Structure formats: C-alpha cells, structure tokens
Structure 1
Amino acid sequence: MIAGSRFATAAALAAFITASAVAVNGAQTWKRVDTPNFVIIGPASESHLQSLGVQFEGFREALTRLLSSTATTTAVPTVVIEFSDAKTFKPFQPVYNGKPVPIGGLFVPRRHVNYVLLAPDRGPDSLRMVFHEYSHLVVSNVAPLIPVWLNEGIAEYYSAFRLESSGRKVTIGWPIESHLVRLQEATWLPLADLLATAHDSPQYNEGSPRSVFYSEAWALVHMLLHGDPKFRTAFSAYARDVSLGVAPDEAWRQQFGSEDVLNDVRRYIRRPTLQAVQYELSEQIAHASGVPQSMTDVDVDLTLGEVLVAEGKPDAASLRFDRAVATAPFSLRGAVDRGLLRSDRQLLTLPATPAPVADWLADYMTAAALLEGGASDEATLTVAREALARCLAVRPDIPNAQVLYASAIDDDTKAVEALRKALAAAPARDDYALDLARALAQQHDYAAARDVLGRVIARPHHPDAREQAFSMMRQVVKAEENAKAAAGAVRPSGTSGPRGSNVRYIYRDLKPGEQRAEGTLERIDCAGRRVTVSVRVGDKVAHYQAPSFDAIQFLTYRDDLNGNIGCGARTPPDRVYVTWIAGDLDGTVVALEFLPKK
C-alpha cells in the first residue's frame, strides 16, 4: 500500500506517452510493435511504441495480480492505435449532434478484435477512460452479472492507474480528484438508489445524476477495499455471493445489514490521505521491448479501415479499402475487406494468386472477416483455413483463432481439439463451451457434451448462457435418446430408466470412493462460496456440502428442464442421482444428475 494525496494531480502519464508524429500515409511512417498481449500501432518510433506497450502490459499484469490470469485472458487480439494529429484522428471520434466528441481515448470491443484508440495531445488523465473500459472487459471475464454500481465502481477504481519508477512500478486505485470534488459539492444518491441502479435508471443516463452515481460508486468501492478491515471482509463475501447468483439486495443485507455505509464513505473521503495499491513489475514486463513489425501504407489503410467498420462508419472505411486495393490489387486482406463491405456479399471475388504475406494479424483478420461474412463454399473456406493455419503457427495462444479454425475445418476430432484449447485458455467464454458441446455431440460423445453443458448451467459467465446451455442440453438428450434407443446400454445397478421407454441412458461412471443414491433435490443453499445440497433419499433428507458451485458436476437426461440451477428451493423438487464422497454433513457432493420424469 502507498498513500496518495487527496487532490494529487495525475500528471505521470503525459511525459511517458509523448508522441513523435509525422502526417498519415505518405509523409508519415507508421510502425507496429507486438507485445505478448497487445499490438501497438502508430506513426512513432519503435522505442516509443515499445514504451507504450510496457504501459499496457503493466496495467494488465497489475489486474492479473489483483484478480487472476483467467480474468485478464482476452480471447481476441487487442490492437492499440496511437494517432499523431487531430486531422487523422477526427474520422474515428464519436459524434454527438453532428460534432466530434473531444476524447482522449476510446475502447472499441468487437467479436473478433478489441481496439484501443489514443487521441493526439492527450491530457494526463486521458487514458483513464480507456483503462475503465478495458477493466469492464476484464471484470466480465469473471463476474459478468454483478450489479451496475459495483461494475462501474470497480472499473473507475482500476482506471486510476499509474506507471512509475521508470516503468518498474504500477499503482492502481489512485485517488481521483474529480470524484472527490464532486462528492464535496453535489447531493448524494441515497444508498438504496445507488445499489438498485440499473442500466436504464435515470441516474445512470442523465447528466449530473450520472456523474454523481459514478463518483459515489467509485468512493464506495474504494472504501470497501481500503477502509476498515471489516468492510473488506464483507465486501469480499458480497462479491462472491452475487457471482453465485444470490440476489444483490439479499447479498447486501446478509453482509452489511441495514447500516447506511454512505456515512462511513463520507468520513473516509475526508481523510488527509487515501490508499492505493502498488506493485513492482516483473522483469519480463519491465524490460519487454516487443517485436517490431513492418507496416506499409496498404497495411495502415486496411487496419484503419477495419477500425472504421467496427465503429459503424462504412463510407470512410470504403475510401481506405479502395485506396489499398488500388495500390495492392493482389492483397487478399484488401479484397476481403472491400468485398465484404458491399451489400451483396456474393460479389466477393478473391485474387486468383494472392500476394504472400508473413503477418499473423493480417491472416487472422482475413479469416475472421470471411467466416463472419458467412463463407460456405469450399474455395472460400479453404482460404480461411489456410490463413488460420498460418496465424496459429505463429500465435497458437489466441483462443479465438482456435475457435475460428474449428469452424472452418471438416474434421470433428481436430475441431474438438482446437475448441478444448480455446476453452482452456479462456474458460469464461461460455460461447466456446457451447461450441465445444456441439462438436462433441456431433462426434456422438453425448456424455462429454453433457458434462461441458452442465458446467455452464452451474456457473454461467454471461447472462443468456444458462438458458442456451439448457436448450442445447435438451437437443443433446434427444439426440442421445435416438442414438441409444436400440443400443441397450447398461444402467448403474439398482437404478431405473423412464417407465414405458426403450431408451437406456448412460449415466456417469462412479469413481473410487464415490457413492450414489436416487432421490429428489429439494434445495440448494449458498453461504459465501460454500454450497449445501439437500436431497430427499427415501424418508430422510440428506445434506451434502461442496466448496463452490464449480466443484459440482451437473448433468441432465431431461429434454424439458428449464429455469436456473441456483441457490434456493427447487419447486417442484427434481428427481436426481446425487453422487458424493466422505466429507462434512452427509458427504461432499460431487455430481447431480437430473433424471427423466417417471
């Protein structure tokens, strides 16, 4: 911990991020540096781009230490583009009432790539907005369903980032002067309103109330992290509870009671100093130079054109694509970018002999565009496959490249292998899990598909994932019924399948030390991360514990199972097999298998 002045001006970054710029294609020379987790582009010296890369890598490493490597693993490339002059940057600025909005930076997340745009002549705090948005991306990897106040408060807390000691130390959670001033002058939102804020709430969308909301959310998070230790303990438990599906208001009452903690926040921000967290960077990051990559004017036009497409500005993008293709008519990336921008995608014509490239990012963007554009003919799929194979030969660590490759190949075994790699690297991507389950089902490995889907049902990372997993589970169950109807697979001894049915299900195999019983699941209780499962077996209700939802394997053999598997009573109770090992209470639950109705 270090102490920071309440009103310390965040001056540090301006000197570190000095632009040495020339003018766009032609007089300017654009360069690119690839760091382990970012692609840094701009009309500046390699040493400057390398320094900028160290800053972003430092921010990511600090978040990794505060959260986890799972949280900071981004499945798609993150491209940072620094502009040198207002004229070049203007087409990329957001527009409000017909006028460009003055900003220091912009975060543009998309399905296959994330862009960070840095404006010229940035102020010392200009990267705060970029780091705020990047923090949202990181937090969503581990806790996408948290309340709005917590999501915004955490993002503001992380956004106050400083790189210090010649790039060897990072500080996160530095006091934000504008918030402190606003909270001294404005009328605060009541605690109930702050905690209940939704994305459509007036205080989240309207002028002055919005500013107060952000300031209060930041101050509350800051106090809960750095104030009285009792608050840190309660805050940690609250965050765990809401991530496990406990209603936010109930989770708050359980940890904080009815006390109005805003009184504590008011006292906290009046302290002469506020705390921040400081880390010394690893040698690997502090001395990371990045790998320089060459950039032609065509590369610049295609890259910036792709950014404009991502921003929904096709006309400006078309001008850059046309110029690139006129200069390099055999560019595969140029042909794809320009062709897919047309309204009739059937007009896409690829060069018969594309110019060779040695750029993993160009191959990745080309393949992503082709597959996103609905490539289905074998010739186009072959182009996409070959581009992805080249990309993965250089960057096998990009999860989304593995997923794209799996979608482009006609080999279920290789597709499953690629999807397993992607999900292992980005376990919070529920869509990757669904893709893997689908591929496993296509291989008729229904048990493995149910296992993957069961993990999504138990602990979804994104709002719609649980229902999507339920829907796919129903499809898998039906496919398995059809496949096994005449197979007569053996059930566990002493168990029964659905009455009046010839379908014989293959249930989970018991492992050494495990026991299984048939019963009805009556409720699931959550206390912090600890989970208690209550199952009626015969005339007795047995209680099994698990350290977390993640520790329980959920499987279903029903095609009508809807709703959530979360904390609380199961109404009506579900017929299940419960599998456990020796442990607290009646045992430690290992698996719950939802059985067909009798």
Structure 2
Amino acid sequence: MTMTVAMLAVGLGCVTAVATQPASAQHPGVKQSRDWKALPGTGLDVVGNAREGDLRRARREITAFRAALASLMPGIRLSAPEPTTLVVFKDHPSFTEFAPRDGKHRRQLNVGGYFSKSADRNYLVLPVHANRRTTSETALHEYTHFVISRNFRDVPLWLNEGLAEFYSTFEVNDQGHAIVGKAPSSRIDTLRSDRMPPLRHLLSGATIPRNFRSSDTAMFYAQSWLFVHYMTLADGGKRQGQIVKYLQLLPTTTSAEAAAREAFGTTLEALEHDVIRYSERDQFPALGLAGAASEAQPQETAAMNEADVAELKGRLLVELGVAREAAPYVERALALDPSHRAGQITQGRLLVLEERETEALAILVKVAQEDPGSFAAQYYLGSALYNGGRYQDAIVALDRALKISPKAASAWFAVALATMALRQYDQSDSAMAQVQELYSAADWHYARAHEALRLGRYDAALPEATTFIERAGVGDDSAPYAAFIGVIAARRLGLVERAEALLTRTASVLLPRSWPLTVVQFMQGRLNATEFLRKAQDNGQRTEANTYLGMHLAQIGQNDEAIKHLTWVKEKGERHYTEYALAIAELKRLQSGQ
C-alpha cells in the first residue's frame, strides 16, 4: 500500500511541511524572484508564480468559502493551531511537477488541486485554470473534510462525504458574491437513473459501498449529497444548523435514528418522504452570499526571494515523498542562503526521508539548539529521534514542542507512538485521546496500527487496526490493509479465530480478481507462495507480496526463507510503500535473533 498526501503520518519520516519564517522573509544578499510573489494575511498566506490578480482572486475564493462554512454551520471552528498557505501556480504545466502522486508514484495529471495537512502548516495547492471546477473542486472537497474533522468526532461517512460534495461546488465572482450548494449534474443524473436506498439505511451506514470502486459508490455519494443539500437549503433553509445538532447528539444517543429524530424534529419516514419529493424537482436552490470575500485592508504583494522559493518547492516535494526531486531545490535554497532556517529543517527532513538519520540528526539538533522557541525545530528533531529508535530522547524533544504549541495534534501523535514503542501504553492512549480531541480522523488509527506492527507491539496493532476499519468503513481503500495488519498481529498473539474472522469479513467486500483479494486468499491458505508471487503484476504488488510472505514464513519458523523475501524488499522493493517499513523491521528482528 502506498503512502499518500491524504494519509496522516504513516511513519514520522513522512510527516509533512514546516515553515519557521514567513515565505516572503527578506534575506540580505539573496536576489528577489522575478515571478514568485507573496500575499500575507491573517491565518492564510498566499504565494505563487501566478499574476497578482490571480493570487488575490484565489484568496478571495478561500476567504469566501470559509465565510460560507461559518454562515451555514454556526459555531464551527475554522481556525487551527497551524496556519494555512495557499500556493497558486500560474498554469497547469507549472503545477505538474508538484502534483500529488498515485500508487505507483506517478504524477496525477488529472488532479485540479489538493489540500495537504501537516504538522505545523497546511497547504492548498492549485493551478490557475480557465475552468474553476477543474481548478479547485478537489481542494475544496478535501478542505471541507479537514474542517469537519477539526470540529467533530466520529462523523458518519455519508455525512462527511455529503458535506464535502455540497461545498465543493462553491463559486465566487470578482465582486465577492458567492454561490454555495450548486447541484452537481453528475449526482442528479445518478439520482434519476436508479432508486435510492431507504434513508434509515444511509443514516445507519448500511449503504456504505462494499468497495469505493464498486457500482453502488455513485449512489452513495449522490444520496449523501442530496440529504445534506435538503437539510441545508430546502424550504428556505429552515433546517440550517440541524446537521450540527445531529453531529453533537451522535455520541450521546443510543442510535443514529434516535439522534436524527431529536435533531431533525420528525420521524425518519416523514423525512424520507420529503427528501424523495425534493429529489424530483427540476431545479435545486443555491445560496448566495454577498460581500463574503471583502478585504477591509488589502495587503500589498511582495516579491519572494529565490531562497524562499527554492525551499518552498523542496518542501512541497518532501511532503509528496519524492526525495530525489526535492533535493536540488533544498540544495539551492541553502546555497543561496546557508542560514535559511526553514531550508535547514527541510534538509533534515529530506535526509530522514533518504534514511540518512545520522546526518539528519546532526542538522536538526543544531537547529533546535539555536532556535529553542521554534515548534518546527523541536518537533522535527523529535521525529528524527523517533525514526532512529531513540524514543525517550524523542519524547523530551516533543515535550518541548508541545510547550510551544499545546494543540499540535501531530506532536501528540508522535508522543503516542514513542510511548507505545516504550510499552508505556497508558501514556500512549492518553496522548492518542488528545490527538482525537484536537483533530478527529480515522487515519490516525491506521498510522498507529502500522507503527505498532512495525515495532512488534502486536497487542496495540490489533485494536488500532480494528478501530480504523470501524471508523473508516469496510469500503475504504485502506481497510483491507488495516485488516492485514490486524491479521498478522492476531496470529502472533495466538488469536487464530480473530484473524480468520478478519479475513472472512475483508474478503466479503472486495472485488473479484482485485489485488487485495489475492492477498486475502494467500493469508487464508488458498494460494501457495509460488501462486501468490506469480499474481503480482508490478513492483508495488511484488513489494507487498514478498513482505506478507516473509512475515508469514517468520511466523511459522522458516526464518531463512523469510529473510530471502524480506531482503528482496530491502534491495528491490518500492520504498514509498508502507510494507517496505514493515519488511525492514521484520528483517532486523530476524537477523538479530529476536
């Protein structure tokens, strides 16, 4: 399975982004960029090589989008401990180098933008495009998920996706007039082409797609969008605010149905009748917000210097996990300005990504000593110490980071991992609770499960993997891989029936002839090693196959054979796959005789 932008720190070496100084900071003797500019602002910095008018338009759109969220979801928190930077490229060709990668680490050229979460700064990365939908729908969809996760815990999947779909069609014109809730034609077509499942099935989770590539996915998204649209804009918006009430009631009521009845003030049968009638209308309302994006005191743009530009480009590529592409930019930033603090930290992170921990620590220790008040310096030092197996030292550095920024979810998560590594489970669980309080997301559980398995903490890996599946849903793309973690952990704990139950459940939702189903069949003993390896179609699948085969052979005591397959992963495997880290850790255990 690949590490992606959408995932949260599946290994601390891939935790993303740092900014210890403003992007437009001036450095004596470093020349200014001819095309890169910065537009500072409260909580939202805008930088890019786009024209000044495009930078202002992009910020106006995001500002208006945040205003729309605040208007339609009263009381929602839009601010976060870390600031947000909007990176605007002048066109799609200049954006392409920094586009997110797919499972084979190829650029996703059809992506019109993306939202990237990080330890101390978040990024919205967009190209300027004639078609606004192509430019920003993806980013607005992901940004909505981010805001929801910052405010509510355990949001049902239908509601999370319905809200993101509803807000992703947001538009704002040059005068600052915004439109929220435009009906996406693709969702309307789906609703008209087939019969919707009962509303109670949607609310209970019974209609979650068996797999997000299956045929029922379109209806799930369409019905989720429709219900959110109805609750937000039907009958003049009289139900606005009821979704927030529903979210608040979910943790304290006996069922989703009970929460719905209390929040929506009617029975599910009556509500379903109204929603069906609503879906049959010829036109759907949208909400207009006038003047939502006005700037009381417009800021002046400033030319960025070349060192800042190079560091930013290197950092974006480090976030994407492409060390080879990031290195020239980081080197250029430090060649232009050897004292560039953000460049030094990004260099340290790059070295961690390249598995050069000793060199990384030399840089990060120095930076942390010279800049004790920098959250980024302390946090990334703690991350590097963790990656080097110095867990107690990592906790000390992370504690310093948390004194600077007590609400930094990534730092609390790093503490949860380091204390788990030391088998301090009470402290680890306490830190994990802080993470979910600050930033509720199922991905934290996947990341913790993966690290627990890598560290050999099987008693922690199994419950975390199970929790991820329950929260993300069995149809989530990562759910089979969480199940594989749980199966390996369960077998090493002697819980054979638990492992078999996980495999049976996982197999029931996978598409025929899919690669994850092939892995399940191997783990169930329905494929032998030769057949399993032969079915791997590319190097990524071979990385997974050799890892799971090696771990299976180690489990049954065939250590020499296990070492052969794990060594193959070390020498020929895809390093950006999460299985790579599992294989390396297992290989070290076997070679050390543990």
Per the normalisation by structure 1, the TM-score is: 0.54
SS at match of 1:240: helix
Alpha-carbon shift at residue 148 of structure 1 (Å):
0.7
In the alignment, the residues of structure 2 paired with residue 211 and residue 244 of structure 1 have an alpha-carbon distance, to the nearest angstrom, of 31
CA, structure 1 residues 179+142, in 2 after alignment: closer, same or farther (shift >3 Å)? Answer: same
Residue matched to 1:443: none
Do structure 1's residue 408 and structure 2's residue 416 form an aligned pair?
Answer: no
Counterpart residue identity of residue 345, structure 1: E
1:303-322 aligned within 5 A: 303-322=312-331
Do structure 1's residue 346 and structure 2's residue 358 form an aligned pair?
Answer: yes
Counterpart residue identity of residue 73, structure 1: S
Equivalent residue pairs, number:
384
Residue matched to 1:80: 86
In the alignment, the residues of structure 1 paired with residue 201 and residue 397 of structure 2 have an alpha-carbon distance, to the nearest angstrom, of 47
In the alignment, the residues of structure 2 paired with residue 457 and residue 317 of structure 1 have an alpha-carbon distance, to the nearest angstrom, of 29
Q: Is the 8 A contact 1:112 1:368 kept in 2?
A: no
Residue matched to 2:17: none
Q: Using CA pairs under 8 Å that are at least 6 residues apart, name the structure with larger relative contact order, 1 or 2.
A: 2
In the alignment, the residues of structure 2 paired with residue 62 and residue 434 of structure 1 have an alpha-carbon distance, to the nearest angstrom, of 34
State which of 124, 127, 133 in structure 2 corresponds to 1:119: 127
Residue matched to 1:63: 69
Do structure 1's residue 178 and structure 2's residue 186 form an aligned pair?
Answer: yes
Do structure 1's residue 39 and structure 2's residue 45 form an aligned pair?
Answer: yes
Residue matched to 1:279: 289
Alpha-carbon shift at residue 268 of structure 1 (Å):
1.0
Q: Is the 8 A contact 2:43 2:83 kept in 1?
A: yes
Can you give the 5+ residue segments of structure 2 that lack an aligned partner in the other structure? 1-30, 388-395, 416-426, 446-594
CA, structure 1 residues 320+95, in 2 after alignment: closer, same or farther (shift >3 Å)? Answer: same
Do structure 1's residue 373 and structure 2's residue 381 form an aligned pair?
Answer: no
In the alignment, the residues of structure 1 paired with residue 410 and residue 268 of structure 2 have an alpha-carbon distance, to the nearest angstrom, of 36
Q: Deviations over 1:267-324 (max 9, x none)?
A: 21332432233333368x4345235344122211211211112122222112321232
Alpha-carbon shift at residue 99 of structure 1 (Å):
5.9
Q: Is the 8 A contact 2:115 2:123 kept in 1?
A: yes
CA, structure 1 residues 35+340, in 2 after alignment: closer, same or farther (shift >3 Å)? Answer: same
Residue matched to 2:118: 110
Q: Deviations over 1:555-581 (max 9, x none)?
A: xxxxxxxxxxxxxxxxxxxxxxxxxxx
SS at match of 1:223: helix
CA, structure 1 residues 433+329, in 2 after alignment: closer, same or farther (shift >3 Å)? Answer: closer
Q: Is the 8 A contact 1:143 1:243 kept in 2?
A: no
CA, structure 1 residues 287+273, in 2 after alignment: closer, same or farther (shift >3 Å)? Answer: farther
Residue matched to 1:159: 168
Q: Is the 8 A contact 1:38 1:80 kept in 2?
A: yes
In the alignment, the residues of structure 1 paired with residue 227 and residue 383 of structure 2 have an alpha-carbon distance, to the nearest angstrom, of 42
Counterpart residue identity of residue 37, structure 1: G
Q: Deviations over 1:10-67 (max 9, x none)?
A: xxxxxxxxxxxxxxx9996111111112111111333432232222122112222333
Q: Deviations over 1:206-255 (max 9, x none)?
A: 25422221111111111122235886686565333115464324423665
Q: Deviations over 1:443-477 (max 9, x none)?
A: xxxxxx9xx99x97998873799x9xxxxxxxxxx
Residue matched to 1:222: 229
State which of 203, 214, 217 in structure 2 corresponds to 1:195: 203
In the alignment, the residues of structure 2 paired with residue 77 and residue 460 of structure 1 have an alpha-carbon distance, to the nearest angstrom, of 15
State which of 327, 342, 347 in structure 1 corresponds to 2:336: 327
SS at match of 1:273: coil
In the alignment, the residues of structure 2 paired with residue 315 and residue 111 of structure 1 have an alpha-carbon distance, to the nearest angstrom, of 22
Q: Deviations over 1:163-206 (max 9, x none)?
A: 24612x3232222222222322245344344334489x435612
SS at match of 2:81: coil
- Identity, % of aligned positions: 23
In the alignment, the residues of structure 2 paired with residue 164 and residue 124 of structure 1 have an alpha-carbon distance, to the nearest angstrom, of 11
In the alignment, the residues of structure 2 paired with residue 212 and residue 62 of structure 1 have an alpha-carbon distance, to the nearest angstrom, of 26
Residue matched to 2:491: none
In the alignment, the residues of structure 1 paired with residue 61 and residue 273 of structure 2 have an alpha-carbon distance, to the nearest angstrom, of 37
In the alignment, the residues of structure 2 paired with residue 235 and residue 27 of structure 1 have an alpha-carbon distance, to the nearest angstrom, of 47
In the alignment, the residues of structure 1 paired with residue 246 and residue 347 of structure 2 have an alpha-carbon distance, to the nearest angstrom, of 49
SS at match of 1:93: coil
Q: Deviations over 1:130-166 (max 9, x none)?
A: 1111111111222131211111111222222222461
CA, structure 1 residues 67+323, in 2 after alignment: closer, same or farther (shift >3 Å)? Answer: same
Alpha-carbon shift at residue 368 of structure 1 (Å):
4.8
In the alignment, the residues of structure 1 paired with residue 435 and residue 173 of structure 2 have an alpha-carbon distance, to the nearest angstrom, of 43
1:187-586 aligned within 5 A: 187-197=195-205, 201-202=208-209, 205-228=212-235, 237-244=245-252, 246-252=254-260, 256-259=266-269, 261-281=271-291, 285-342=294-351, 343-348=355-360, 349-350=362-363, 368-374=379-385, 407-408=399-400, 462=440
Alpha-carbon shift at residue 79 of structure 1 (Å):
1.4
SS at match of 2:286: strand
Q: Is the 8 A contact 2:39 2:301 kept in 1?
A: yes
Q: Is the 8 A contact 1:37 1:57 kept in 2?
A: no
In the alignment, the residues of structure 1 paired with residue 267 and residue 365 of structure 2 have an alpha-carbon distance, to the nearest angstrom, of 69
Aligned CA-pair RMSD: 4.7
SS at match of 2:50: coil
CA, structure 1 residues 297+104, in 2 after alignment: closer, same or farther (shift >3 Å)? Answer: same
Per the normalisation by structure 2, the TM-score is: 0.54
CA, structure 1 residues 146+328, in 2 after alignment: closer, same or farther (shift >3 Å)? Answer: same
Q: Normalized per residue, which structure has more strand?
A: 1
Q: Is the 8 A contact 2:51 2:90 kept in 1?
A: no
SS at match of 2:216: helix
Q: Is the 8 A contact 2:179 2:286 kept in 1?
A: yes
In the alignment, the residues of structure 2 paired with residue 34 and residue 151 of structure 1 have an alpha-carbon distance, to the nearest angstrom, of 31
CA, structure 1 residues 244+134, in 2 after alignment: closer, same or farther (shift >3 Å)? Answer: farther
CA, structure 1 residues 198+456, in 2 after alignment: closer, same or farther (shift >3 Å)? Answer: farther
CA, structure 1 residues 315+178, in 2 after alignment: closer, same or farther (shift >3 Å)? Answer: same
CA, structure 1 residues 71+233, in 2 after alignment: closer, same or farther (shift >3 Å)? Answer: closer
CA, structure 1 residues 106+457, in 2 after alignment: closer, same or farther (shift >3 Å)? Answer: closer
